[in-house]
Amino acid sequence: MININKIIKEMDLEGDPSNHRVVVAMSGGVDSSVTAALLVEAGYDVVGLTMQLYNYGKALQKKGACCAGSDINDARVVSSKLSIPHYVLNYESIFQDQVINDFADSYLRGETPIPCVKCNQTVKFTDMLDRAKNLGASVMATGHYIRRKKKLGSPSLHTGIDSSKDQSYFLFATTKNQLEFVRFPLGSLTKDETRSVAKRYGLSVANKPDSQDICFVPEGKYTEVVRKLRPGSIEVGNIIDVNGNVLGKHNGIIDFTIGQRKGIGVGGRKGVDDKNSILYVISLDTEQNNVIVGPREFLSCNKIKISNCNWLIDIVNQTKFRVLVKLRNSSKPVVGTIKVDFDNNLAYLKFDKPQFGVSIGQAAVFYNIEESSHILGGGWITEAPNKSADIKFYNA
Amino acid sequence: MKKQIYLDYNATVPLLKEVKKSLIDCMDVGPLNASSIHYYGRKGKDIIDIARTNISELINTNKNNIIFTSSATEAINLLFSNFDTIVVSSVEHFAVLSSSKSDHIIPVNQHGVVDLNFLETYLKKLVKKNKKILVSVMWVNNETGIIQPIEDVVEIAKKLGCLVHCDAAQALGKIKINLEEIELDFLTLSGHKIGAPTGIGALIYNDKIDLMPQILGGGQEKGMRAGTENILGIRGFGEAAKFFVNATENNCSKVKSLRDYFQEKVKTLSPKTIFFGEKGNRVANTTLMALPEIPGDLALMKLDLESFSVSSGSACSSGKVSKSHVVSAMGYDNLASNSVRFSFPPNDSILKLENLITRKELDRLAQCWSNL
């Protein structure tokens, strides 16, 4: 059973809940719907906001389809059930500028972007947050599985109780200022608990499956989206091995990501010992438009450079320390030593053990080595040299 | 729950009591398919005939020239499907702009009034290349309330041998429409803008011009709009028309004084407010305004949370608010995302049915506006 008083306590708002307007960012999914439901039960003056981020009809290539996806309607139905006001924010052009275009350009640079972080960083926690403030809200709540705790008067960010659903990797860019204003009531719940709350309230989205893909990419086919957005800038090129031999052709480097093993399109290699017969994408050469493949050992990466760092802790006195770092949402944190350059928002990280398949464009998120749930901050991986950097291609 | 103050009458007028009663009576008559040849079929035909008569009286036209459709939008689509060359004004409703697929756009001046000189020059060129031209200009603009010089539009178009359609969805009930006095070929109407239920509209047509239907089937509405007649909608439309025909207070002086009172309050409390079309010939119930720093959707949300129902720009069915093409067309592109429309009851008779729109509430509304 969910303890409403605990949720009220974690909301960290003084006085009676009814004196506080809380804007809930409602996506139409079960998580944000339950967030709204719990806050209504707790007695807050809840207002639901849903972002319209792109023209669904256009994205899905359906002629005459309405601009609204069914998610917006789900959010509306839930709001109606909860008897709260609900509004739709038209962020199509901002989302196009700040998220979709960046996503396409990033792929063209041979990187692997995370548009969800950009969206949280820009549209959700900038524009929507401003709107929540303008509507007189005390705070804005979202349905993320992450916890906000008060430590020595200032808020800190911690992983969600449900480690399988933890969303800290996507929220590292939340600034200290933003953290003063946002709340995550589901951080202390498991997904199962969320679903059971949804059932208890009779919410229509109780059994709605979790979203898996990037919202504006139909069926996960991100390369098709990039091809539509940037026609003409994607060219056929060569797939070469570490010795510079051409193994085959590719239809554009956007189809590849560092560390990729499946679907490269070049067959197995006869006469090569087992250990080295499997080929991985080890480098994307955007200048020559080459995809470079090689055995796993070439992916080995010892250090990375991280740019545009966001810090959620005060570390002015300390510029070199040990951290846990997550390089992908799905991977476990690894140990390393970080050196911080505050003036330039940069950080350099040396891994204790080499890492394989680190991609530029992904995030590096840092956790406290003594308290692994505590998020220290993070940034964008802008350099991740692996052994392929040592290769010289004279004939390429 | 706080009382909701409704100031969005241009979006829809609440169902009139008389209309509601007529609908219930109609439901009690029995199974009504007006195409049936038996007793109940005849009953159904009678109901439709009475509605036609009532509507024809309201706009002074021949009752046989009315085709009932599901909406003004459908009526416009039906008409436009018969024309390849359609000339429209830049401030038309999307029902006209989208369905006409027209590149022939006549601009408006800063007050939102269609540029008649431009229209004449444009048509003179166009008639040299095209034989059958339809000119479509709305009578009253839904956002600004501006009354277009429709008589002049008709005169220019007729002089050059063009046909004329007028979207009168917003004019009906607000100003006198007398089709005997104006040489329009086509007029389209919407029932719910005068207190009928939604889902009923009409095309008034010149029977000397052959039109082809869009919806084919059982040949209802003289073959112009197939599908079993929407008896309840038609009955409701007819009753609403009757209400307006019989209304003793068909003028709008009380509505106008409330609207003007509100405008003056706003001017006093927030002098930065910009009014659109205020200097033009406007209907009495509408005012469109903007604050330079405040997005229209924010204004709408904040006013809604203060229990005022108003409208902003043009909302898609998703609820997202887009820029106002009307405000842009008037030369205020920088304010096109900021405009908010307040529309009062269409005339004094409808206002009389309403007891929440008081000067006290308008003071509160103007105060909320200044606090945005």
Average pLDDT over residues B29-51: 95
Residues of A in contact with B305 (CB under 8 A): 47, 85, 135-136
- The answer to whether the beta carbons of residues B151 and B182 sit under 8 Å apart is yes
Distance of alpha carbon A358 from the chain centroid: 16
Asked if residue A142 and residue A116 are part of one domain, the reply reads yes
Domain termination residue (choose one: A222, A252, A275)? A222
| Residue A41 sits in the same domain as residue A168 | yes
Same domain, A100 and A242: no
Domain co-membership, A42 together with A20: yes
In angstroms, the separation between the Cα of residue A256 and the nearest Cα of chain B is: 36
| All residues at 6 or more sequence positions from A6 whose CB lies less than 8 Å from its CB, including other chains | A188
Can you tell me the distance from the alpha carbon of A161 to that of A55, in angstroms, rounded to the nearest whole number? 35
User: Same structural domain for residues A93 and A144?
Assistant: yes
State both tokens at A2: 């969910």
Contact A265, A240 (CB under 8 A): no
**Torsion angle in degrees (nearest 10) through CA of A11, A14, A15, A21:** -60
Burial A2-17 (b: 16+ CB within 10 A, else e): beeeebbebbebeeeb
Alpha helix stretches (DSSP H) within A127-273: 129-134, 176-181, 191-200, 222-229
Query: How far is it, in rounded angstroms, from Cα B200 to Cα B197?
Result: 7
State residue A63's pLDDT score.
42
Look up the CATH architecture of domain B17-246: 3-Layer(aba) Sandwich (3.40)
> Quick check: is A352 in a domain?
yes
Which of B94, B301, B324, B371 to probe the A interface (max A CBs under 10 A)? Answer: B301
User: Is B17-246 the same fold as B5-15+250-370?
Assistant: no
Gyration radius of chain B's alpha carbons: 21
CA distance A385 to A390: 9
**Neighbouring residues of B263: CB distance < 8 A, sequence distance ≥ 6:** B275, B278, B287, B289
What is the pLDDT at residue A267? 64
d(CA A314, CA A296): 38
Contact residues for B103 (Cβ-Cβ < 8 A; gap 6+): none
Along chain A (396 residues), what's the average pLDDT of each consecutive run of 10 residues?
91 96 96 97 97 72 51 93 95 92 91 90 94 98 96 90 93 95 96 95 91 79 88 89 90 90 74 73 91 91 95 82 93 94 92 93 95 96 86 53
| B297 contacts in chain A (CB < 8 Å) | 87, 89-90
β-partners of residue A347 are A306, A340
d(CA A103, CA A118) in angstroms, rounded, equals: 9
Cβ atoms of B118 and B104 closer than 8 Å: no
Compute the half-sphere exposure of residue B127: CA atoms within 13 Å on the CB side of its CA.
16
Instruction: Answer yes or no: is A139 within a domain.
Output: yes
Q: Summarize the confidence of residues B105-109 as an average pLDDT.
A: 98
8 Å CB contact of B319 and A131? no
CB contact under 8 A, B301 and A52: no
Which residues make Cβ contacts (< 8 Å) with residue A275, sequence separation at least 6?
A: A295
Enclosing domain of residue A151:
16-222
- State the Cα–Cα distance between residues A67 and A52, nearest whole angstrom: 9
- H-type helices in chain A, by residue range? 4-11, 30-42, 56-59, 70-81, 92-95, 101-108, 115-119, 129-134, 176-181, 191-200, 222-229, 274-277
Q: How many residues does chain A have?
A: 396
Cα distance between residue A253 and residue A107, in whole Å: 8
- What percent of chain A is predicted at pLDDT more than 90? 65
Point out the residue among A47, A52, A136 whose CB comes nearest to the CB of B320. A52
CB contact (8 A) between residue A131 and residue B298: yes
Q: B364 burial class (0-12, 13-18, 19+ CB within 10 angstroms)?
A: middle
CB A191 within 8 A of CB A164: yes
- A89 to chain B, any CB pair closer than 8 A? The answer is yes
Least confident range from A227-231, B27-31, B257-261, B273-277: namely: A227-231
Q: How many residue contacts between A and B have a Cβ separation below 8 Å?
A: 47
Q: Does a structural domain hold residue A230? A: no
Strands (E), chain A: 21-25, 45-52, 86-90, 139-141, 146-151, 154-159, 182-183, 237-241, 246-250, 280-285, 290-294, 300-311, 320-326, 334-341, 346-356, 363-368, 374-383
Q: Do A87 and B319 touch (CB under 8 A)?
A: yes
When divided into structural domains, chain A yields a total of 3
DSSP reduced 3-state for A242: coil
Nearest to B207 by CA among B221, B190, B220: B221
Identify the pLDDT of residue A62.
45
> Which SS3 state, helix, strand or coil, does residue A13 take?
coil
Contact B139, B177 (CB under 8 A): yes
Best probe of the B interface among A90, A91, A129, A131, by most B CBs < 10 A, is A90
Rounded Cα–Cα distance for residues A204 and A216 (Å)? 23
CATH at A243: 2.30.30
CB contact under 8 A, A67 and B318: yes
* Same-domain check for residues A197 and A244: no
In a domain? residue A268: yes
Model confidence pLDDT, tens digit, residues B311-363: 986 666 666 778 999 999 999 999 999 999 999 999 999 999 988 899 999 99
User: Residue A287 carries which DSSP code?
Assistant: T
What pLDDT, on the 0 to 100 scale, is given for residue A393? 56
**Partner residue opposite B318 with nearest CB, options A66, A135, A136:** A66
Residues A46 and A137 in one domain: yes
Please report, for residues B142, B311, B334, the alpha-carbon distance to residue B342 in angstroms, rounded to integers and kept in the order given: 11, 7, 20
- How large is the ipTM? 0.86
In this prediction, residue A277 carries a pLDDT of 76
Residues A161 and A36 in one domain: yes
Q: Are A298 and A356 in contact (CB under 8 A)?
A: no
**Same domain for A51 and A67?**
yes
Query: Could you give the C-alpha distances from A394 to A238, A241, A242, A387, B368, in angstroms and in order?
Result: 15, 13, 11, 17, 72
pLDDT at A110: 86
For residues A331 and A221, what is the distance between their CA atoms, to the nearest angstrom? 22
- pLDDT tops 60 at residue B72: yes
**Whether residue A168 is found in the same domain as residue A287:** no
pTM: 0.89
Q: Which residues of B touch A72 (CB under 8 A)?
A: 318-319
With cut-offs at 50, 70 and 90, classify the pLDDT of residue B70.
very high
Tell me what pLDDT residue A273 has. 64
In sign, the C-alpha dihedral spanning A114, A115, A116, A118 is positive
- Does A9 map to a domain? no
B-chain residue closest to A48, CA distance = B301
A87 interaction partners in chain B (CB closer than 8 Å): 297, 301, 304, 319
B-proximal residues of A, 128-167, CB under 8 Å = 131, 134-136
Q: How far is CA B356 from CA A172, B2, B7, B204, B345, in A?
A: 50, 12, 10, 35, 12
Across the interface, whether the CB atoms of A88 and B304 are under 8 A apart is answered no
Measured distance CA(B82)–CA(B203) in Å, rounded: 13
Separation of alpha carbons B3 and B17, rounded Å: 20
A193 and A269 share a domain?
no
- C-alpha A347/C-alpha A360 separation (Å) is 14
Q: Say if CB B67 and CB B82 are below 8 A apart.
A: no
Which two three-digit tokens encode residue B234? 């038609």
Q: What is the DSSP letter of A386?
A: B
Q: How far apart are CA B203 and CA B103, in angstroms?
A: 24
Instruction: Give the per-residue SS3 of chain B.
Output: CCCCEECECCCCCCCCHHHHHHHHHHHHHCCCCCCCCCHHHHHHHHHHHHHHHHHHHHHCCCHHHEEEECCHHHHHHHHHCCCCEEEEECCCCHHHHHHHCCCEEECECCCCCECHHHHHHHHHHHHHHCCCEEEECCCECCCCCEECCHHHHHHHHHHCCCEEEEECCCCECCECCCCCCCCCCEEEEEHHHHCCCCCCEEEEECCCCCCCCCCCCCCCHHHCCCCCCCHHHHHHHHHHHHHHHHCCCCCCHHHHHHHHHHHHHHHHHCCCCEEECCCCCECCCEEEEECCCCCHHHHHHHHHHCCEECEECEECCCCCEECCHHHHHCCCHHHCCCCEEEECCCCHHHHHCCCCCCHHHHHHHHHHHHCC
In a domain, A94, yes or no: yes
Specify the residue for token string 């005012």.
B287
For the stretch A67-81, what's the b/e string if a residue is b when 16 or more beta carbons lie within 10 angstroms of its beta carbon?
A: bbbebbbbbbbbbeb
Question: In this complex, is the C-beta atom of A88 within 8 Å of any C-beta atom belonging to chain B?
Answer: yes
Domain topology for B5-15+250-370:
Aspartate Aminotransferase, domain 1 (3.90.1150)
Contacts of A47 in chain B (CB under 8 A): 301, 305
Q: Is B50 exposed, middle or buried (0-12, 13-18, 19+ CB in 10 A)?
A: middle
Our measurement of the distance from residue A247's CA atom to the centroid of its chain's CA atoms, rounded to an integer in Å, reads 34
CB B198 within 8 A of CB B63: no
Chain B residues closer than 8 Å to A129 by CB: none
Give the Cα separation of A283 and A242 in Å (integer). Answer: 10
Map out the domains of chain B as residue ranges.
5-15+250-370, 17-246
Domain with residue A372: its CATH number is 2.40.30.10
Please identify every residue of A annotated as catalytic.
Answer: 119, 215
C-alpha B372 chain-centroid distance: 29
A247 with A101, same domain: the answer is no
Q: Which of A222, A250, A266 is the last residue of a domain?
A: A222
pLDDT of the residue at A396: 39
- In angstroms, the CA B164 to CA B136 distance is 6
With CB atoms and an 8 Å threshold, state whether A89 touches B304.
no
